[in-house]
Amino acid sequence: MIDHTASDPSERRYASSFTRRHLLTAAAACLAAGSLPRRLLGEDHAVVAAKAPPLKIPDTHKISGFALGCQAWTFNRFTVMEAIEKTAKAGGRVIEFYPGQKLRRDQLAVTFNHASPQAVIDQVQAKLKQHDILAVNYGVVALPPKEDEIRKVFEFAKKMGIPAVTSEPPVESLDMIEKCVKEFDIRLCIHDHPKRANDPNYKFWDPNWVLAQVKNRDPRMGACADTGHWVRSGVKPVEALKILEGRVFSSHIKDLNEFGTTKAHDVPWGTGVSGVKEILDELKRQNFDGNISIEYEYKQDDNLAEVTQCVEFVKKYGA
């Protein structure tokens, strides 16, 4: 298919009492002690980010400390009900839905999205309960600069009990999105697709650009780190994660067979060039508490075995 402002006035008064040189010295000392994110040594040194409230995904739905499951797009040749079943068969504990997937084999005319009636939502929630799978994210969904459209998405997420929404929103939407993030206490995760040679205005692939969109906004606004698309764009995932530290709220992890080309395709985790172990190490270091989605976009007519290998990789990582 990313410097943050201090929310406490006392912090701002405290920061203003320092000269630029003094603050840099203090920040460097904190960094050496491992207590300050490296990004705070950037252009604006006078502010420290407030932290997003923890998601509190239960440990029962984590594998090796991570809320691991599938992006339903992995099974887009199948229905929502089948995607839930396949996620469970692969050993995943959570799922991330996307808008427009067909609901079930005997109702192929019905799709699942944020406009679904309650009767459809009830069916999906019952299926999740049957397989003990948690819905933890929704996207990639369009969030146009229309408040009523944005509210529909957040109202749907709240109704489903989904704590995060993933999108590639236009800059013009961010004020309205921030309003909904605060009202519904639901995180925004800005997604990245690969760099586009024919569209220099597409910036989502650049973690620095993503950080610039959210760094002065509510701490619940951050990134969905699609590591595979970073690899296709020639961006090293661990370096990108460090740039976004404190604002990484979900991840579509992919291991690819080649670096720096859009022709690269998914391979089971640990067998490609993406450095999945190092990605997990970095997320762990950052105390990442969001969801990790396996988004396996290769051999999608029959990829359950490969998806299961990805789950097993994380189990062995924890062991």
pLDDT of the residue at 50: 78
∠ CA 217-219-222, rounded to 5°: 85
pLDDT of the residue at 280: 98
**Mean pLDDT of all residues in 147-176:** 98
Q: How far apart are CA 287 and CA 102, in angstroms?
A: 35
CB 30 within 8 A of CB 45: no
172, pLDDT greater than 80: yes
CB 119 within 8 A of CB 189: no
Phi, psi of 152 (to 5 degrees): -60, -40
Superfamily of domain 53-318 in CATH is: Divalent-metal-dependent TIM barrel enzymes (3.20.20.150)
Phi, psi of 136 (to 5 degrees): -125, -5
- List, in sequence order, every beta strand (DSSP E) within 113-171: 134-138, 164-167
Q: How far apart are CA 93 and CA 133, in angstroms?
A: 5
Q: How far apart are CA 115 and CA 22, in angstroms?
A: 53
Q: DSSP letters of 233-252?
A: TT--HHHHHHHTTT-EEEEE
Between the alpha carbon of residue 126 and those of residues 88, 134, 287, 297, the distances in Å are 14, 11, 32, 27
Each residue's pLDDT tens digit, 24-72: 344 444 433 343 344 443 434 333 357 899 998 999 999 999 999 999 9
* CATH code 3.20.20.150 region(s) in the chain: 53-318
Q: How far apart are CA 169 and CA 221, in angstroms?
A: 12
pLDDT of the residue at 21: 38
**Mean pLDDT of all residues in 83-106:** 98
205 DSSP 8-state letter: T
pTM of the model: 0.85
Each residue's pLDDT tens digit, 219-267: 999 999 999 999 999 999 999 999 999 999 999 999 999 999 999 999 9
As a three-state string, the secondary structure of 154-168 is HHHHHHHCCCEEEEC
pLDDT of the residue at 24: 39
CB 257 within 8 A of CB 272: yes
pLDDT of the residue at 23: 37
Average pLDDT value for the chain: 88
**CA torsion through residues 32, 36, 41, 44, sign:** negative
2 DSSP 8-state letter: -
**Mean pLDDT of all residues in 149-157:** 98
pLDDT of the residue at 1: 53
Each residue's pLDDT tens digit, 264-295: 999 999 999 999 999 999 999 999 999 999 99
Q: Which residue has the higher pLDDT, 297 or 25?
A: 297
